[in-house]
Amino acid sequence: MLIAAALSALLALAVLGVLAGGEMWRHRVVYFCCALASLALLIGGLKHLGQTPGTGPAIVLPIGLPWMAAHFRLDNLSALFMVIVNLGTAAASVYGIGYCSHLPEPRRVTPFFPLFLFGMNAVLIADDAFMFLVSWEFMSLASWLLVLADHKNPENRSAAMVYLMMAAFGTFCLLTCFGLLAGPEGAYSFPAMRGGVLEPMTGFLVVLLAVLGAGSKAGLVPLHAWLPLAHPAAPSHVSALMSGVMTKVALYGLIRILFDLHGHVAWGWGAALMVIGGITAVMGVLYAILQDDLKKLLAYSTVENIGVVVIGLGLALAFKDSGEKTLAALALVAGLYHMLNHAIFKTLLFLSAGAVITATGERDLGKLGGLLKRMPWTGAATLVGAAAISALPPLNGFVSEWLIFQSLFKGPGLPHWTMKFGVPVVGAMLALAAALAATCFVRAYGIAFLGRPRSAAAAAAHRLPASMRWTMAMLAVLCIVLGAIPVTVTDALSGVVQPLTGVHFAVSADLGWPWLSPVSSTRGSYSGTVLVMTGLSLFVISILLVHGFGTTKVRRADAWDCGHAEDIPETQYTGQSFAQPLRRVFCSSLFAARETVDMPEPGDQSPARLTVRVIDPIWTYLYLGILRVVDAIADRVNRMQFLTVRRYLLMMFATLVFMLLVVAARQQK
């Protein structure tokens, strides 16, 4: 009831957004109401999660196709994703109250923002394939319009074009996937699909199409190409939603099909997903390290995190098919936990990137620096977010990555030799990605917030509206809280995965609250709660000691300046110089990274130049390759426009005879 009311309110808000016109306070009201609706949906989801495991009542509405009513239902999985989604949307809406006045054209954003929220939530509660796809397209098209918000920039227009193509491709795959699941009888409701029995070949195709369709939305390599183009192009609070939340909706689709509707996915697909996830994680973070654009860096980091989650999902599939239900539940819990975490810290980081861009007008790392002094709130919140995404304890990112590693360590126990050898490899990739992610965010945070300003714009950063600061602070607190009470979260998640894996599994069973001991108490255990309490008490004790027994004299001295006292900001480390060692180690073969030094002749006073050339192999070879092939085919086909009448007749005749032959051949069987 609450959910239905909130969803209708979002639709009404879209109309209000159109009517808002040029008055800024009306835009603020729309965002405020969006925040309220998101909170209502959040509460609805939490309330459902608090109930005993089970599915909510089915709601049938007489809309949609005339012979097919629209089915909606809230079960534990959708309720969890509703929580994940609406945490992000609530934050983005509150942020939007202050942020909308800084947008170049708020009128192009406000009407579509509630529609985008509506689409994402409707995907979660859809209970038949038709409603699912309609909502999915709703979400895609609304976000596409938001990407186009700043349409005067030609880069944004081409990003939107690529996004539209990929969205169409993804939906086409999902459409075919649901068609196969529904079978020849056309049973499009999810309960009917669950009962269906799939032939091996059909089952294979269903998984393939689901991975292609949902994976292209989530940003799995090599279908990620649109993501780092489109996500940064949108206004920052929308980027936060696209990166932090919409990718989760895509993964919801993947989980819904692979774990729920399909039900019997072969372990080979689990292995394939793990490999895809591993490659996605490593490639994503390597791309991220090379970026100088703050928002692009965050978008690529999203690709990495999606890879991490998909490793967990693949592992869960492999365990499930091998009969290891408990371990499957563990891997799935870990994956879901990471999705929840990523939704929070990626939203936080994108919002802070938006804050930086609003305050300075710059998104190039090379022109930022020293922002911590001018924007202490944003700086502190971003530090928490960056630490969380780098998986540092005691923050939330650590818990989920630790859980994924714990389940990976049990992978070699699987009966298949592929998995015995493959799981450690994927584990190594994940470890590499995690370490590189930490590097990436040390670089991003250090360059943007520490040091001295690298441009006049960065030196003149101005204050931000309270709603923007508070949103980031709240998200940072959430990062800490979710890291400090991991057991509470995993207990809630195990209720969600129970229907999907068929077993109730509590991660804390062995040692009890507040210890996480996924495998056994001797193999590894972690308690964020204890860690935070210990850290806090040590902090308090040391403050007491310092203030009680330490000297109160203050000594002032210059900071160490690395041996040269020159006062030019350009002599600082830059983003490029920080990335150089990693670029040389990892990217010289993968991205064909080359450096050329252009040294002027002695006596010539022009500066020396260092040029770095990086080729994105996937874009250059895969996408442009496809483009070339399509172009070549189009050129060939173009000739068909200039044939003679007799040739056209001949073609029709040949087609007719061919069809007749096919029919005749089928008749003979």
Partner 1 sequence: MPISQLSYEMAHLIGAAVLMAGFQLLYQRRLFAVLNTFAFQAVALAAAAAWQAHIQNAPHLYITAGLALVFKAMIVPFALHWLVEKLGIHRTVETAMSIGWTMMAGVALVALSILLVLPVTVNAAALTRESLALAMSVVLLGLLMMITRHNAVTQVVGFMALENGLILAAVSAKGMPLVVEISIAFSVLVAMTLFGIFFFRIRERFDTLDLNDLETYRGDRQ
**Which residues here bind partner 1, judged by CB under 8 A?**
641-642, 644-646, 649-650, 653, 656-657, 660-661, 663-664, 667-668
Nearest residue (CB) to partner 1, 553 versus 666 = 666
Report the alpha-carbon distance of residue 294 to residue 356 in Å, rounded. Answer: 9
Q: With both helix axes pointing from N to C terminus, report the angle between 294-321 and 417-449 in degrees, rounded to the nearest 10.
A: 160
How many CB atoms lie under 10 A from the CB of residue 612? 14
Nearest residue (CB) to partner 1, 466 versus 657 = 657
Nearest residue (CB) to partner 1, 1 versus 665 = 665
Report the alpha-carbon distance of residue 297 to residue 231 in Å, rounded. Answer: 11
Nearest residue (CB) to partner 1, 67 versus 642 = 642
Nearest residue (CB) to partner 1, 596 versus 668 = 668
Strand partners, 60: 71
Q: Residue 601 gets which letter from DSSP?
A: P
Minimum distance between the CB of residue 664 and partner 1, rounded to whole angstroms?
A: 4
Which one, of 185, 204, 202, 182, lies nearest residue 193 by Cα?
Answer: 182
Kind plus residue range of the DSSP H or E element containing 41: helix 24-50
Minimum distance between the CB of residue 646 and partner 1, rounded to whole angstroms?
A: 6
Report the alpha-carbon distance of residue 435 to residue 61 in Å, rounded. Answer: 49
Nearest residue (CB) to partner 1, 24 versus 661 = 661
Nearest residue (CB) to partner 1, 555 versus 666 = 666
Minimum distance between the CB of residue 182 and partner 1, rounded to whole angstroms?
A: 30
**Beta carbons of 146 and 237 less than 8 angstroms apart:** no
Minimum distance between the CB of residue 657 and partner 1, rounded to whole angstroms?
A: 7
Nearest residue (CB) to partner 1, 629 versus 650 = 650
DSSP character string of 408-451: HHTGGGSS-HHHHHHHHHHHHHHHHHHHHHHHHHHHHHHHHHSS
What is the torsion angle, in degrees rounded to the nearest 10, for the CA atoms of residue 124, residue 126, residue 128 and residue 133?
A: -70
DSSP character string of 522-540: TT--B-HHHHHHHHHHHHH
Kind plus residue range of the DSSP H or E element containing 201: helix 200-218
Minimum distance between the CB of residue 176 and partner 1, rounded to whole angstroms?
A: 30
**Beta carbons of 76 and 53 less than 8 angstroms apart:** yes
Nearest residue (CB) to partner 1, 12 versus 643 = 643
Minimum distance between the CB of residue 636 and partner 1, rounded to whole angstroms?
A: 17
Nearest residue (CB) to partner 1, 606 versus 641 = 641
Nearest residue (CB) to partner 1, 611 versus 641 = 641
Nearest residue (CB) to partner 1, 539 versus 653 = 653
Minimum distance between the CB of residue 642 and partner 1, rounded to whole angstroms?
A: 6
Which one, of 93, 100, 89, lies nearest residue 20 by Cα?
Answer: 100
Strand boundaries in 169-261, DSSP class E: none
Minimum distance between the CB of residue 632 and partner 1, rounded to whole angstroms?
A: 22
Minimum distance between the CB of residue 639 and partner 1, rounded to whole angstroms?
A: 11
Minimum distance between the CB of residue 637 and partner 1, rounded to whole angstroms?
A: 16
The alpha carbon of residue 1 and the mean position of all alpha carbons in its chain are separated, in whole angstroms, by 29
Which one, of 197, 178, 200, 199, lies nearest residue 189 by Cα?
Answer: 178
Nearest residue (CB) to partner 1, 25 versus 642 = 642
Which one, of 410, 409, 387, lies nearest residue 398 by Cα?
Answer: 387
**Beta carbons of 226 and 147 less than 8 angstroms apart:** no
* Residues 578, 435, 451, 369, CA torsion sign: positive
Minimum distance between the CB of residue 630 and partner 1, rounded to whole angstroms?
A: 24
Report the chain's C-alpha Rg in angstroms: 27
Name the residue type at position 182.
Answer: A
Name the residue type at position 273.
Answer: L
Minimum distance between the CB of residue 656 and partner 1, rounded to whole angstroms?
A: 7
**Beta carbons of 468 and 98 less than 8 angstroms apart:** yes
* Residues 584, 586, 588, 591, CA torsion sign: negative
